Amino acid sequence: MFGTIRKHQTWLWAIIITLTIISFVIFFSPYSKLNDAPRGRINLGSINGERINPEQFIQAQREVYLRHYFMMGDWPDDESRKAGGEIERETYQWLLLIQKQKRLGIHISTDVVAQAARSMIGQFQRAGITSPDMFVQRVLRPRGFGLEDFERFVRHYLGVQELIATAGMAGKLTTPQEARDLFKREHEELSAAAVFFSAADYQAQVTVLPEAVSQFYSNRLATYRVPERVQVNYVKFDLTNYTAAASQELARMTNLDLEIDEAYRLSGTNFLREVGAQSVAEAKTKLREARLKQLEYQIARSNAVYFANPLFDMEPVRAENLDIVAQAHGFPVRATIPFDRETPPPGLGVALDFVQKAFSRTPDDPLAGPILGSNAVYIISLNKKIPSEIPPLEQIRVQVVEEYRHSQALLLARQAGMDFYQALTNGLAQGKTVADLCAHAQHPLVDLPPFSLSTRQLPQIEERLNLNQLKQIAFSTPPGKVSNFQMTPRGGVIVYVKSKLPLDEATIAENAPAFLNAVRLNRQNEAFNDWFRQEVEKGLRDTPLARPQAPPAMNPASDEKKS
């Protein structure tokens, strides 16, 4: 379990995920204040007329955290989840599901709860957790949870499964014959061909007139607007300059291999999968390389800080101070090319953090750093900001001419497609064949590989036509017929559906039972989701959640991410 490795092998995760600190505690959540707030002063709303008290809310929220842990293999620590109110929404939904269990008389016996709890805890054996007591000590207590929280979650989770089975009963009524028909519909292949009309084939027919290009440019001024840009000067602390020092530091870590061996002993193949290695030897190599890279970062950053301290202390604060300090230390100062808010400057290996800091610079606050890149640490100063502008036509004429030529070629390709479709339908009405009509018009008829609704990729044609668009066209065209001309991003297409290819009966017989189960499960979930949305709309109208939401996922025990 990578969650357990993270908890007990903090050195490992410091290597793999540099500069990451995992410090979230459940009581830091937005509702931790409920523990200490005087009862009666908190209005959490009501569900179907029943007032929610703080204790109920806290307990339900703990169960939501446990559900996320068993589903995803980690705790919902991401700030965006908390900021977006997702935990709050899921807590109210969970409270609604608990209430429904009580009102419908759903009660899970203690024996069933114990059996399910043992099964859930059993998933942690490869991480060295072999008993409920170890699960409590290693997983629950560090998060402020107790065994009673886990037992309550398991009971309510099993109750939700009963709710799904009850509310989704209609989904189980799917008959074997209906599932068989659905399987045939999704897997029965078509034999088809297509006539493509590509703008690239009509480029040579386009006449480029200066006045037309000028009009094209004037009509699309907003397209050619260049966004605000910034240019910064920088001093670079390249990681490779500190490899020797980092290697010496790494050589002093004599227990590193022993710690990796212990991590493998506790988690086995899970450990190798997390590291992305096939063997312990490969894992050691990868982790030593990662640790070396981290040490290089630490040394480079220390040198950048040493460089920056006198720089940021200089008065008055000016961008030119970077040149003065760099010259004193013998560092070259380089300048980026101007870049916008969406695109980091090329060649530096930096991310949007660099961009954000660069755009935040002003004449009064021109300096920033250290900023980490993929292979270096940077100290920057503001060079200049360039306002948004529309470049004159003469400056970008080559680009405008090319786009004008393409747009005109696209129109020609689509007009040719529509004209040929008319000729095609007329010729077919006279008894001519599709192949003869295509040959006469010199439009190649391209045979397509057989495909069905269940086909996930068709590399032979996907550069010319989106697979989903092909399916939509072909499966709405009767066998033996041609489709209407359909526009595509590259031009257009006409699809000729030759025939349906019979599906092998042995294939149907082999796959029908599993397909029937999948259809029933899917329809059961759909029926439950419909029921749940209606219940949310009715039951949570007197809570901070005033609109219906999709129900939370309800299948932690089978989710692969937890292992």
Residue 112 has pLDDT above 80, yes or no: yes
Residue 131 has pLDDT above 60, yes or no: yes
Contact between 533 and 515 (Cβ < 8 Å): no
Contact between 264 and 271 (Cβ < 8 Å): yes
Closest CA to 504 of 174, 183, 191, 192: 183
Residue 534 has pLDDT above 90, yes or no: no
Burial of 283 (C-beta count, 10 Å sphere; 0-12/13-18/19+): buried
Most confident of 129-138, 244-253, 389-398, 546-555: 389-398
DSSP state, 550? Answer: P
pLDDT in tens, 158-182: 988 888 877 767 666 667 777 777 7
Q: What is the per-residue pLDDT for 331?
A: 92
Structure confidence at residue 30 as a pLDDT band (50, 70, 90): very low
pLDDT in tens, 238-247: 998 999 988 8
Which amino acid is residue 109, in one-letter code?
A: S
pLDDT in tens, 440-472: 999 999 999 999 988 988 888 888 899 999 999
Q: What is the per-residue pLDDT for 555?
A: 45
* Average model confidence (pLDDT) across the chain: 81
Q: What is the mean pLDDT of residues 178-200?
A: 87
Q: What is the per-residue pLDDT for 10?
A: 31
Contact between 400 and 213 (Cβ < 8 Å): yes
Q: What is the pTM of this model?
A: 0.55
- Token duo for residue 186: 């999704």
In the chain, how long is the greatest CA-to-CA distance? 90
Range name among 3-7, 22-26, 53-57, 315-319 with the lowest pLDDT average: 22-26
Which amino acid is residue 350, in one-letter code?
A: V
- Token duo for residue 116: 């399910």
Burial of 512 (C-beta count, 10 Å sphere; 0-12/13-18/19+): middle
Q: What is the mean pLDDT of residues 67-81?
A: 70
Range name among 387-396, 451-460, 549-558 with the lowest pLDDT average: 549-558
CA 235/CA 332 separation, integer angstroms = 7
Which of helix, strand or coil describes residue 474?
helix
DSSP 75-141: ----HHHHHTTHHHHHHHHHHHHHHHHHHTT----HHHHHHHHHHHHHTTGGGT--SHHHHIIIIIG
Q: Going from the N-terminus, what domains does the chain have, and what CATH number goes with each?
A: 2-172+523-562 (1.10.4030), 189-220+396-501 (3.10.50), 227-252+264-386 (no CATH)
CA 452/CA 443 separation, integer angstroms = 26
Long-range pairs, 42-51, Cβ under 8 A, ≥24: 44/543, 45/92, 45/540, 45/542, 45/543, 45/544, 46/542, 46/543, 47/92, 47/95, 47/96, 47/99, 47/539, 47/540, 47/542, 47/543, 48/96, 48/99, 48/538, 48/539, 49/542, 50/99
Sign of CA dihedral 164, 168, 169, 175: negative
